Amino acid sequence: MDLSIVISLYNEVESLPELVSWIHRSLEGQGLDYEIILVDDGSTDGSWDFISGACAGDSRIHGIRFRRNYGKSAALYCGFDAACGDIVVTMDADLQDSPEEIPEMIRMIREEGYDLVSGWKQKRHDNVLMKNIPSKIYNSTARRVTGLKLHDMNCGLKAYRKDVVKNIEVYGEMHRFIPYLAKNAGFLNIGEKVVHHQARKYGKSKFGMDRFIHGFLDLLSIWFLQIFGKKPMHLFGAMGVLTFLIGAVIAIWLIADKLVSQAHGTYFRAVTDQPLFYLALVAVILGAMLFLTGFLGELIARNAPERNRYNIRERL
């Protein structure tokens, strides 16, 4: 199969008929063997009734239904697992992503050798204060942290080689950072395409301002896990040793200064009367705890089932 289109949706019954029809029109005459996988993330508005009917009437449409709302990452994870196409495209169900962009994205993967092509909604039709400005700040931060020069990391319209979606794990709220997950899995040829963004036609957005706060925290989490997830001792051990040494050196210096002053008969303060001594003790204890944290993290990492999981590109 040439193409799988994975669409995560939640209460989008009004837009689904138009979306499916639009996809068929956009791919007509392209000579592509494709499937549409509609993942219903616990909708309560009749979306599944449409999907059931569509699946019965068109063998190219497949449906997955969650018992409750798990989130977009869970929907994409199951959609990726079910996808059979050599190229996998993701898009939102709210009609803001245009299926007419798909053929060009496929060409970029096939002819230009990209592993992943991410859409860039250069001209957005969203609320400026609620979405446009926060999105620019968020994407600027993401570029600095991930090293990926993408203008719109969270754009729902993306195209991937099949190997990419089969070798990454999307969980929690990590759907925002799939390009970074792909990069850390060894898929480095990541491109970008300006795509047409349309104003929402039905309903309202399912995401509020809190997604930017959560997104920033998730970005820090994924950055930390990718760098130190398999080597926690490199972070906590180093911090622990440094903190312990600083505290120990200060404590020894205070004791030595007191002994020298006492030996020469000059005025001295008792070590226990000096606040700096207690700060040094805190540093020593904190350093020991950080080191033990790194040690325990290392034990957990070494016993994790995926400790020797590597993405092999090819064998000869």
**Residues 172 and 282 both lie in one domain:** no
pLDDT of residue 283: 95
pLDDT tens per residue, range 176-224? 889 988 998 899 999 999 998 887 777 666 555 566 677 677 777 777 7
Q: 140 pLDDT band (50/70/90 cuts)?
A: confident
**Residues 182 and 236 both lie in one domain:** no
**Residues 41 and 103 both lie in one domain:** yes
**Residues 92 and 192 both lie in one domain:** yes
CB 183 within 8 A of CB 146: yes
DSSP class of 97: B
Give domain status of residue 309, yes or no: no
**Residues 183 and 259 both lie in one domain:** no
Dihedral class, residue 185 (left if φ above 0, else alpha if ψ from -120 to 50, else beta):
alpha
DSSP class of 271: G
Structure tokens at 270: 């008792």
Give domain status of residue 18, yes or no: yes
CB 39 within 8 A of CB 14: no
Number of domains in the chain: 2
Last residue in a domain, options 228, 250, 269 = 228
Taking only Cα atoms into account, the Rg of the chain, rounded to an integer number of angstroms, comes to 27
Last residue in a domain, options 228, 255, 273 = 228
Domain coverage including residue 68: 3-228
Average pLDDT estimate for 99-112 = 96
Determine what percent of the chain is predicted with pLDDT higher than 70. Answer: 88
pLDDT of residue 174: 83
**Residues 168 and 267 both lie in one domain:** no
pLDDT of residue 313: 65
b/e per residue 264-280 (b: at least 16 CB within 10 A): eeeeeeebeeeeebeeb
Q: Count Cα neighbours of 36 within 13 Å in the Cβ-side half-sphere.
A: 28
Distance between CA 106 and CA 88 in Å, rounded? Answer: 9
Give domain status of residue 213, yes or no: yes
Distance between CA 135 and CA 151 in Å, rounded? Answer: 10
What CATH number is associated with residue 87?
3.90.550.10
pLDDT of residue 206: 58
**Residues 196 and 176 both lie in one domain:** yes
**Residues 133 and 179 both lie in one domain:** yes
pLDDT of residue 310: 57
pLDDT tens per residue, range 272-306? 888 999 999 999 999 999 999 988 888 877 776 66
